[in-house]
Amino acid sequence: MNEEILQYIWNYKKFRNFDFISTDGKTIEVLEFGEWNKNSGPDFLFAKIRIDDMIFVGNIEIHTKASDWVFHNHSGNSEFGNLILHAVYINDCNIPELEQQKIPTLELKNYIDEELIRKHNNLKSEHHFIPCEALFDETKVPLFFEETVLLKKMHSKSLIFSEALTKHQNNYEAILFQNLAYTFGLKVNAELFLQMAEVLDFNIIRKVSQNSVQLEAIFFGMCDFLEDPGDEMMMVWKREFDFLKAKFNLPDIKIHPKFSKLRPPNFPSIRLSQLASLYNSQQNLFSKFIEAKTIDDLYGIFKDVRASEYWDNRFNFGKISSIVGKKYLTPDFIDLIIINTVLPLKYFYHKNHNPDIVDDLFDFYKQMKPEKNSILDEWKNLGIKFENVLQTQAFLYHYKTFCTRKKCLNCAIGFQLLKTDN
């Protein structure tokens, strides 16, 4: 038993009955349970109770044990000066300070269904994919759950975009470039690619974007791949990088992307070349993403993006590979870019400039095939069926922000599962 579940029970009025009797035998009628306070001070504010035909308005504090009043150092705290009720699960001792102020104590134990406590304890289990696995019922997923969760995710990402936009003086193209770089880096090199993109003035990228060799030279040079050229093309890139570094006064920073734990098609050499190809083949990229009306419009932007010819028979610098072929962006990787960068930024822009069409973005998610990974497989084992990316994104984000943090009492699904009338 902990205060969190007691506050939940009080807030949602999950009691067997409401015939409350104080520890000194007086009838307590709760007229208003108050507003749940998640900050410092009493747990519930602006409550109202009736005792002996007297109405009291003020705050309510909830504890597991009455003695917690002392252990939590509430005595003499002015924040608790307007208390009208001390509600506890177990009244293990009298609190003289409260008795002197004639503040009643209500012991809750006999008013709470033990089944509700059992369900809560199951939610806190350490040995499941999600805390509520033993209780999970896919029919309890609320209506419009996926849309609601996806909006929360996009709102969260919008806060990051907003901060970056202020930093870069409302340059959406620069923000796009940084987030694309992050996505092209995958998990292993995401932060390193982002670091590279952040130290590069996007105006430089814009100026050299029509020259694919120079774009690659900047990316490879910033990542310290050109210090010891192993073939003719590497020498060309180094010569271009040295020229551009002097011309644009590029920062003297060396990023060192990692190759380990990556499949060859995901090597940083390949991904950086493909990123250069994207900016070489598409001018005004941000505008094209914003103006796209359908998911096919977005796919069309990426269809010709491929690593340069040098990489047709290589995965790493100066090393010929027996695997030969043009290295286009795969459909799955294009989906990854659209899901993690394009659609969140598209949402952010329209939220600020044309909020009436924000809901239309759901159609983009619904038109994309569902993702596949081990977390989604676990959801499938619990009976969840996925038909599109809107659903997979929602359950992935919910798992990350609620399930792994065991925020069961704030979870829309957990709320349904905890109902004693299920």
- Note the pLDDT of residue 124: 60
Q: Are strands 83-90 and 54-65 parallel, antiparallel or unpaired?
A: parallel
Q: Which residues of 177-188 are buried (b: 16+ CB within 10 A; e: fewer)?
A: bbbbbbbbbbeb
Nearest Cα to 184, choosing from 196, 174, 173, 172?
A: 196
Residues of the chain with pLDDT below 50 are 422
Nearest Cα to 237, choosing from 252, 256, 218, 258?
A: 218
- Note the pLDDT of residue 2: 79
Structure tokens at 185: 């880096």
- Note the pLDDT of residue 254: 85
- Note the pLDDT of residue 420: 55
State phi, psi for 316 to the nearest 5 degrees. -130, 165
- Kindly state the helix (H) or strand (E) to which residue 27 belongs, with its residue range: strand 27-32
Q: Are strands 27-32 and 20-21 parallel, antiparallel or unpaired?
A: antiparallel
- Note the pLDDT of residue 342: 97
Beta-bridged to residue 63, according to DSSP, are 88
- Note the pLDDT of residue 77: 85
- Note the pLDDT of residue 78: 83
**Vertex 108, ends 104 and 109: CA angle to 5°?**
140
The 3-class SS string of 80-117 reads HCCEEEEEEEECCCCCHHHHHCCCCEEECHHHCCHHHH
- Note the pLDDT of residue 421: 56
- Note the pLDDT of residue 389: 97
**C-alpha to C-alpha distance for 392 and 371, rounded to whole angstroms:** 6
**C-alpha to C-alpha distance for 181 and 285, rounded to whole angstroms:** 14
CA dihedral 334, 335, 337, 342 (to 10 degrees): 120
- Note the pLDDT of residue 206: 95
